[in-house]
Amino acid sequence: MSINPASATVEKKLRSGTSVWAGSAKAQMHALKDSIRADVVIVGAGVSGAFMAHALAKRFDKIVVVDRRAPAHGSTMASTAMLQFEIDTPLTELSEKIGPSKAARAWRRSWRATQAIAKLVDEEGIRCGLRRADSLYLAGESMGSRGLEKEMKARHRAGLPGEYLDAKRLREVFGIDRTGAIFSPGATSANPVALTQGLLQRAIRDGVSFYSPVEIKDVVATSHGVVLDTGKHFIESKHAVFCTGYELLKGIPRKGTKITSSWAIASRPHAKLPRWLANTLIWEAANPYVYMRTTPDGRLIVGGEDEDIDLPSYRAHSMAHKTARLMAKAKKLIPNLEFTLSRQWTGAFGESEDGLPVIDRVPDMPNCIAVLGFGGNGTIYSKIASEIAPTLLRGRADRDADIFQFR
Ligand SMILES: Cc1cc2nc3c(=O)[nH]c(=O)nc-3n(C[C@H](O)[C@H](O)[C@H](O)COP(=O)(O)OP(=O)(O)OC[C@H]3O[C@@H](n4cnc5c(N)ncnc54)[C@H](O)[C@@H]3O)c2cc1C
């Protein structure tokens, strides 16, 4: 099957404003000067493509990564990089959607991937400001204290850690006025741009070739392999993995997915914040939910205000209004919070009905795999994709692959 015309994925304005990671971005450019061959070509050098390149580097001889932008200059630059095992869809709700056994497997896989990211960053010595943290999931309009207690029990039954805090305890320990919360260990936060660049650099060290700016304009997939057309040259490969983020490959199934908009703001560094906030990520049982984290240089990042509209001009136009709302929400949640605005940004955001990603072979495109890391913990899904894709490429089945198939 061949995809046409202009590009294999429609280019979008994925983000606007200035995220806190803008200063970390390096524009690594490597022109593709000729047609080449590969064992695996990875399209996309965001955090998904970087995890993929790092994972495949030692398993295949010739890996090629291409991107029409510089590394991490797509959605990854907009990420607030809260790396949590907790999936947007509570375990109790996911159990109703896909059955308790699959739901528990999805949550446990997410837990393992979150721990694996911290281990990988540590072992590879990637300097991306990764910090271990706890997370505080507050009762909100979509789940009150009773729902949270039930959720905590379901998580414990699935073998996951955490503690339910009632309103009194929550007020005593954190000074937050909500009817309850789940307090969980095992999260981290990082600089997503530095993480992506670090992974890609290690992959290049291990023999991966990287070319940018290179746009894949057309793809022809057959049972013998895949030919990717850049407009000037061809890449002939045994396999292709599409890590193209929210710029979806034309023609792939989109059932149960949507692209929305999300906003985030950051305070100045060295903000006067409660001490516990340095190693606690906050989010809430609401849709959309507000969330918060800090950076190693003491900024407070607040995000949320998601809307079901994928319109770049609307995103940019709404920035001032969304900033005011995020600041007001943060101040309501954290008593006596001083917040001096320093950065504001917005981006496209992918959601799926069950909060899970797609990591699967592309129907009718032999030898092609797509990674659609939808949901608030897209980065965890990028890591899971880098674990599942190698088994798919070798024709074997990962034990959890069934959870992440096209719906
Ligand atoms: C405001 C906001 C906050 C977020 N917060 C979090 C968070 O706290 N935690 C979390 O885990 N996630 C978060 N996310 C989600 C996170 O940003 C995404 O899950 C992640 O960045 C997706 O990475 P990716 O590599 O799949 O996509 P991208 O970073 O977009 O990379 C895809 C790459 O593919 C390239 N590409 C596409 N088509 C082609 C083509 N035809 N030819 C060549 N190259 C192509 C693009 O140029 C791009 O660089 C947030 C997102 C937003 C917008």
pLDDT in tens, 88-134: 999 999 999 999 999 999 999 999 999 999 999 999 999 999 999 99
Ligand 1 touching residue 303 (CB < 6 A): yes
Ligand 1 touching residue 243 (CB < 6 A): yes
25 band by pLDDT with thresholds 50, 70 and 90: confident
What does the pLDDT average to over 24-36?
89
Phi, psi of 198 (to 5 degrees): -65, -45
6 band by pLDDT with thresholds 50, 70 and 90: low
- State the distance from the centre of ligand 1 to the C-alpha of 350, rounded, in angstroms: 9
Give the per-residue pLDDT at 28. 74
267 band by pLDDT with thresholds 50, 70 and 90: very high
Give the per-residue pLDDT at 4. 44
- State the distance from the centre of ligand 1 to the C-alpha of 174, rounded, in angstroms: 33
Pairing mode, strands 209-211 and 341-352: unpaired
Task: Convert the pLDDT of each residue in 178-225 to its tens digit.
Answer: 999 999 999 999 999 999 999 999 999 999 999 999 999 999 999 999
pTM of the full predicted structure?
Answer: 0.97
Torsion of CA 259, 20, 80, 197, to 10 degrees: 90
CB 244 within 8 A of CB 252: no
Ligand 1 mutation target, pool 15, 67, 241, 257, most atoms within 8 A of CB = 67
Angle between helices 378-393 and 100-124 (to 10 degrees): 90
- State the distance from the centre of ligand 1 to the C-alpha of 46, rounded, in angstroms: 6
Does residue 394 surpass a pLDDT of 50? yes
Give the position, in ligand 1's atom list, of the atom nearest the Cα of 291.
8
37 band by pLDDT with thresholds 50, 70 and 90: very high
CB 374 within 8 A of CB 381: yes
Ligand 1 mutation target, pool 76, 210, 284, most atoms within 8 A of CB = 76
Short-list 155, 107, 159, 128, CA closest to 21: 128
- State the distance from the centre of ligand 1 to the C-alpha of 137, rounded, in angstroms: 24
Instruction: Report in angstroms the alpha-carbon separations of 367 from 47, 238, 370.
Output: 22, 7, 10
Does residue 398 surpass a pLDDT of 50? yes
Does residue 1 surpass a pLDDT of 50? no
**Distant-in-sequence, close-in-space partners of 131: CB < 8 Å, separation ≥ 6:** 188, 189, 190, 279, 296
3 band by pLDDT with thresholds 50, 70 and 90: very low
Ligand 1 touching residue 75 (CB < 6 A): yes
2 band by pLDDT with thresholds 50, 70 and 90: very low
Ligand 1 mutation target, pool 3, 12, 80, 211, most atoms within 8 A of CB = 80
What does the pLDDT average to over 38-48?
98
CB 345 within 8 A of CB 243: no
What does the pLDDT average to over 57-85?
97
Q: Which of 69-78, 155-164, 251-260 has the lowest mean pLDDT?
A: 251-260
Ligand 1 mutation target, pool 13, 29, 79, 326, most atoms within 8 A of CB = 79
CB 186 within 8 A of CB 115: yes
Give the per-residue pLDDT at 368. 97
Does residue 392 surpass a pLDDT of 90? yes
Nearest CA to ligand 1 atom 52: 79
Task: Convert the pLDDT of each residue in 218-250 to its tens digit.
Answer: 999 999 999 999 999 999 999 999 999 999 999
Mean pLDDT rounded to a whole number for the chain: 95
